[in-house]
Structure 1
Amino acid sequence: MSSAAAPRAVPPGLPESLSGHAPQSAAQAAVPAPVASRLQQRLMWPLETVCALLMVAIIGLLLAGVVSRYVLDAPIDWVDEVVSIAFIWLAMLGSAVAMHRNEHLRLTLFVEKLSPVWQPRVHALALAAVLSFLGVMVGPALEQAREEWFVTTVTLGLPNTVRVAAILSGLVMMLAVVAAHAARTVGLRRLLPALLLMAALAAAGLLLKPWLMTLGLLNLVIFLVGGVGLCLAAGVPIAFCFGLGVLGYLGLSTDVPLVVVVGRMDEGMANLVLVSVPIFVLLGCVLDATGMGKAIVDFLASLIGHVKAGMSYVLLGSLFIVSGISGSKVSDMATVAPALFPEMKRRGNKPPEMIALLATGAAMADTVPPSIVLIVLGSVAGVSIAGLFQSGFVIAMVLLLALLVLARFKARHEQGDGSRRAPMAVVGRLLLVAAPALLLPFLIRSAVGGGVATATEVSTIAVLYALVVGQVLYGGIGWKRLWAMLIETAALSGAILLILGTAAAMAWSITRSGVVQELSGFLTTLPGGWVAFMGVTIVAFLILGCLLEGLPAVLLLAPIMFPIAKKLGINDIHYSMVIVTAMNVGLMMPPIGVGFYIACRIGDAKPDDVIGAIWPYIAALLVGVVVIAAVPWLSTVAL
């Protein structure tokens, strides 16, 4: 995201510092490859079309299921099965589209610090690592597809290969896309040595396999810590970092067949609850395109913008409400900042303070439903998503209060000259314009919390509502723009869901090793009991939040930490709130937190200027996290 004037440069939910864009020096050093470019274009048009049609089919089928169940009282028993098949195809083909668009999540902080000489070489190594993973996985995926031919689906009786073949197809598509991209960006001159190095490492690992198998749990450190860490630092997309770590661990230190990795990936992406992820991503796109989010900001500014610290209140309140619609921190910040920053500057607010408040406000709002992180956490840890949604609203209020108090204290010397209360006629008019948008977050929360609809079902209802209201009251969306949003949603969802799949394989590998049982014995006997365990949890997720975007952090530790929390008698919802809030604070903590840099880019300010301003707000959030951890009642009062 280059500036606040171009908030849609990065799709909602996609941190640019984690995007798959190649370093500029690598692009400049690329050898022109028109053949590769033409191959990509010919491949991507039908692929994008299929992805868009799959999105339409999934939303249409889910809406039909809701209507048949609640209106006609005649449930369609095959809907969930067809949606599950369409969803796995969307995830894998969307991953290929994301690869073409360079939208897979990856860490670029370390690569960007390298000299222009080394950047293209490291980029070539990263591409070679991705190609190696995809090439190795094609065989096991084909084997899995063959084995699943004799297993039939429950309702329609189709061979399960119809669904599992999506993984094979996605891997082959990504392999073609990455190969074409590598030829176009780094050229064979750099790519071939990188591939030879990867082959040499694999051969050395196979030769050392008998010795590696004697190392036991030390292999977890070698492959799942050291290997994943090196890949992450080299700019390999996060999904492939996890995948390469698992391949190395299982292939070089165990006798487990690699087809298991395909099965774990399938299981990680197959949960029907996750279908709501792409639909809520699409909802964020619709709200941004129609201007419904901006209508909320304008109304709040007219209502309380004239009081001291009023614009800070408006900023935090807007993030709180808008987050309950889009479910994406980046989309929230990109909607709110351009509308409020000019007026805040006029009133004497300093840009570093504004951006610090924007970043920490976005972290505060990520527990407000429909948070994609909460949906994924509920799916991975087996926690009630309805309960997470109800609790998340209260927890966000706790963090909001902490930030409001600090904002009011900091605004005690604010210059309010010329700031006047908006006429009631203006407030009323803006309320009328914003009312349909303001209704949506309450519709989502009440439908899920009241048991009227699941998170997946309510996501389709919300999209339909936003499309109809946006068309009638907010100017609507053209067909071309809507089609582009469907493809954009498929790409971003594919990038997210591939992380879910490879992280599920990694979590299974860690669990199989037996380290979880040893870790559980250690953590459950810590002096201080559940209080000490909560302290360890907060520190762990603060650190992981700094290094990784939210979803990978949740996926890695949730399967390990939740069983331990249960042994200590900690409520699942309470523990979930501690995890998510600590992780979100870490995401905004300089100098590593990637969310901090996103906020700086949106606010068009240098990170060096904002670092000093953000620490008091981080401290306020940390106080809130400690209070949430220490008082379980806050997380369970709404249940």
Structure 2
Amino acid sequence: MSGSLSHTAADASAAERPAASAVARVEGAFFGLIELAAAAIVLVEIVVLFAGVMARYVFHAPLVWSDELASILFLWLSMLGAVIALRRGEHMRMTGCLGFAGPQTRAVLEALGIVVPLAFLGLILHPALDYAIEEQFIVTPALEISNFWRALAIPAGLALMVLASFARLARFGSLKALLTAIAITAVLMGAFYLLGPVLKPLGQLNLIIFFVGVVGLCVFTGVPIAFAFALATFGYLALTTRTPMLVMVGRLDEGMSHLILLAVPLFIFLGALIEMTGMAKAMIAFLASLLGHVRGGLSYVLIGAMYLVSGISGSKIADMAAIAPILFPEMKARGAKEGDLVALLSATGAQTETIPPSIVLITIGSVTGVSIAALFTGGMVPALVLGACLCTVVWWRYRKEDLSHIRKPSAAEIGKLALVAIPAIALPFVIRAAVVEGIATATEVSTIGIVYAVAAGLLIYRRFDWRRLKPMLIETASLTGAIIFIVGCATAMAWGLTQSGFSQNLARAMAAIPGGAYGFLAISIVAFIILGSVLEGIPAIVLFGPLLFPIAKAAGVHEVHYAMVVIFAMGIGLFAPPFGVGYYGACAISKINPDEGLRHIWGYVAALLIGLVIVAAIPWFSIGFL
């Protein structure tokens, strides 16, 4: 009898496998088409914007429709990229607490990371479709087409995210954990709905309930940060105000539609090109020839290389991935400890956050109105200050390093490496100079950089792997979607906070801080270190930048100086353990256990804090060259 049952079960299992395989193939083909569409949009954006630059600066016949078409395509790229990121599990989230949970609890938390976003998507999908229908009566000025086709990207992207969520649920390993997560989500949402009449009279106390309680609960349980922001905002507006949800979708659209943010995917793709064409390797080889024979020399090279390439890719993980695999093997061969390597790599991530064309700088400019050219100018020297502080720690730790076996390169060898590296080293400075001098916008100059990198890879370095082009374009779309969707959700949340009167209360509280400008800077440093460790960089900037920058200006702090201080504070939080996800990203790139770096990183963190205090205390470092 038992043999018969087991035979029947085996037959059933065998019958299920082809069906599951067929479903997986259909799913892969469907989302593969979405990836292809997103990759194609990235290519079209590059072509359209570069054509606009050439038409304006070379042929003196501007294409009046180029920016409008680029803006329409950008919203579609952002939403399709968000779909890809959701399916791959690449949306920004805090996973620190998951590491402390047991296997069963961790499985439930992982399931919540899928179910909670799905719940929000179900709530917002209908208002998003209504919003797109409302937009059909608006006609774009240059192309003269209905704005419906641009706005349709939002409900279409949300609907595809629903399908991506269901696809992830179908692949989820534990049915029990999944059912538990669904039950928890349903119970909490039902409780909030029933408590609606009780919540309305609470006034601004609801801000703590939704924007601290709900956001905090979601973030610490591993729900992607964008969806934590969005769900809290939806709940606050739906349950405690009379605001139509169309307004929230409008704010989401507004946050994702700043044309300046179009620089994000272009610089991400440019960073991938720099690594793929060998330009990053050429830069590092030249720096190593200059400093490799000095005690701690390769650590100095690491700091310098991160300074040169940082900010171009839009992803610190990409910057680290371009540098660490080249330097770390030789550093280990010289006796460097793995923990010290990953600690320094993580610290350079925080040190170089203000290096233009940093995506964080572009984001600050888009949400606060601060001149991006001024931010690009102001970011160079403060990063040097923090770099000098890190170099001091390197000097102390490696002052007794034995270099008797290291040969100093000859002048001819250094000259040859310099000749090879010149085109690569010139690119970051060309990009920054073009923006600062007003020759091109941050968006336009990124297309020039892409064409430059392609030409250098094909003609100078003779290294261009066409097979990597498609994965690079898809990765660009995915990272863009993760970044821009979080900007949109944080913009909606910031609008909700502003409408509640919170910004006025915050302004009064911050104005009452003793110590004037320096007291305000001190409390901002503490706040952004905490925010950076919990929310990551861009969400913290988008959420609190529009609220705090006007207060900083009223307190007598220059906007560019304040930007540098909060970016560094946020970066320290992002790249310092135990919560900073940037630190774990550095460990993943280095393939080094996070525990190894914990013993070494605190000296670098102390150096970063000292550098931050110096930058905050002496505004000249940030605004001396404006």
Same fold (TM over 0.5): yes
Of 66, 73, 89 in structure 2, the residue corresponding to residue 86 of structure 1 is 73
Residue 143 (structure 2) pairs with residue 156 (structure 1): yes
Residue 579 of structure 1: aligned partner:
566
Structure 2 vs 1, CA of residues 197 and 313 (structure 1 numbering), >3 Å: closer, same or farther?
Answer: closer
Deviations 1:430-463 (A, max 9, x none): 1122111111011011101110000000111101
CA-CA distance at 1:101 after TM superposition: 2.0
Residue 601 (structure 2) pairs with residue 631 (structure 1): no
Structure 2, gaps ≥5 residues long: 1-16
Letter in 1 for 2:426: L
Give distance in 2, aligned partners of 1:637 and 1:542: 25
Residue 416 of structure 2: aligned partner:
429
Residue 74 of structure 1: aligned partner:
61
Give distance in 2, aligned partners of 1:99 and 1:126: 10
CA-CA distance at 1:123 after TM superposition: 2.3
Residue 341 (structure 2) pairs with residue 354 (structure 1): yes
Residue 325 of structure 2: aligned partner:
338
Residue 194 of structure 2: aligned partner:
207
Residue 7 of structure 2: aligned partner:
none
Residue 515 (structure 2) pairs with residue 511 (structure 1): no
Letter in 2 for 1:604: K
Residue 581 (structure 2) pairs with residue 594 (structure 1): yes
Residue 215 of structure 2: aligned partner:
228
- Tell me which moved more, 438-447 or 154-163: 154-163
CA contact (8 A) 1:37 1:184 kept: no
Residue 254 of structure 2: aligned partner:
267
Give distance in 2, aligned partners of 1:325 and 1:116: 39
Q: What aligned pairs does 1:227-246 form with structure 2 within 5 A after superposition?
A: 227-246=214-233
Give distance in 1, aligned partners of 2:330 and 2:174: 49
Residue 279 of structure 2: aligned partner:
292
CA-CA distance at 1:36 after TM superposition: 4.6
Residue 171 of structure 2: aligned partner:
184
Letter in 1 for 2:474: I
Structure 2 vs 1, CA of residues 198 and 409 (structure 1 numbering), >3 Å: closer, same or farther?
Answer: closer
Residue 16 of structure 1: aligned partner:
none
Give distance in 2, aligned partners of 1:416 and 1:616: 23
Letter in 2 for 1:268: G
Residue 132 of structure 1: aligned partner:
119
Deviations 1:288-330 (A, max 9, x none): 1122101111111111211222222111111111215434321
Residue 363 of structure 2: aligned partner:
376
Deviations 1:593-639 (A, max 9, x none): 11122222333333223222111111111111111111111111121
Give distance in 2, aligned partners of 1:416 and 1:231: 51
- Tell me which moved more, 277-286 or 332-341: 332-341
CA contact (8 A) 1:100 1:181 kept: yes
Letter in 1 for 2:496: S
CA contact (8 A) 1:105 1:238 kept: yes
CA-CA distance at 1:203 after TM superposition: 2.9
Of 91, 94, 98 in structure 2, the residue corresponding to residue 104 of structure 1 is 91
Give distance in 1, aligned partners of 2:22 and 2:611: 55
Deviations 1:472-527 (A, max 9, x none): 22233333321221111111111111101111111111111101101101111211
CA contact (8 A) 1:34 1:184 kept: no
Give distance in 2, aligned partners of 1:41 and 1:352: 39
Give distance in 2, aligned partners of 1:594 and 1:222: 26
Residue 315 of structure 2: aligned partner:
328
CA contact (8 A) 2:390 2:608 kept: yes
CA-CA distance at 1:529 after TM superposition: 1.1
Q: Greater Rg, structure 1 or structure 2?
A: 2
Give the secondary structure class of the aligned counterpart of 2:398.
helix
Structure 2 vs 1, CA of residues 578 and 222 (structure 1 numbering), >3 Å: closer, same or farther?
Answer: same
CA-CA distance at 1:192 after TM superposition: 4.9
Give distance in 2, aligned partners of 1:360 and 1:192: 41
Residue 100 (structure 2) pairs with residue 117 (structure 1): no
CA-CA distance at 1:269 after TM superposition: 0.6
Residue 399 of structure 1: aligned partner:
386
- The aligned length equals 610
Structure 2 vs 1, CA of residues 377 and 456 (structure 1 numbering), >3 Å: closer, same or farther?
Answer: same
Of 15, 30, 52 in structure 2, the residue corresponding to residue 65 of structure 1 is 52
Residue 264 of structure 2: aligned partner:
277
CA contact (8 A) 2:104 2:177 kept: no
Residue 134 (structure 2) pairs with residue 147 (structure 1): yes
CA contact (8 A) 1:562 1:572 kept: yes
Letter in 1 for 2:172: T
CA-CA distance at 1:388 after TM superposition: 0.8
TM-score normalised by L of structure 1: 0.92
Residue 47 of structure 1: aligned partner:
34
Residue 409 of structure 1: aligned partner:
396
Residue 437 (structure 2) pairs with residue 450 (structure 1): yes
CA contact (8 A) 1:36 1:181 kept: no
CA-CA distance at 1:352 after TM superposition: 2.1
Give distance in 2, aligned partners of 1:43 and 1:350: 46
Give distance in 2, aligned partners of 1:608 and 1:46: 41
Residue 241 (structure 2) pairs with residue 254 (structure 1): yes
Give distance in 2, aligned partners of 1:418 and 1:261: 64
CA contact (8 A) 1:349 1:414 kept: no
CA-CA distance at 1:45 after TM superposition: 2.2
Of 161, 169, 193 in structure 2, the residue corresponding to residue 174 of structure 1 is 161
Give distance in 2, aligned partners of 1:359 and 1:194: 34
Of 617, 622, 628 in structure 1, the residue corresponding to residue 609 of structure 2 is 622
Give distance in 2, aligned partners of 1:388 and 1:268: 20
CA-CA distance at 1:359 after TM superposition: 1.4
Residue 562 of structure 1: aligned partner:
549
Letter in 2 for 1:497: I
Of 289, 296, 312 in structure 2, the residue corresponding to residue 309 of structure 1 is 296
CA-CA distance at 1:186 after TM superposition: 4.5
Letter in 2 for 1:607: P
- Tell me which moved more, 485-494 or 270-279: 485-494
- Tell me which moved more, 400-409 or 475-484: 475-484
CA-CA distance at 1:134 after TM superposition: 0.7
Percent sequence identity is 48
Give distance in 1, aligned partners of 2:298 and 2:29: 49
Structure 1, gaps ≥5 residues long: 1-29
Residue 595 of structure 2: aligned partner:
608
CA-CA distance at 1:187 after TM superposition: 6.8
TM-score normalised by L of structure 2: 0.94
Letter in 2 for 1:335: A
Of 542, 547, 568 in structure 1, the residue corresponding to residue 534 of structure 2 is 547
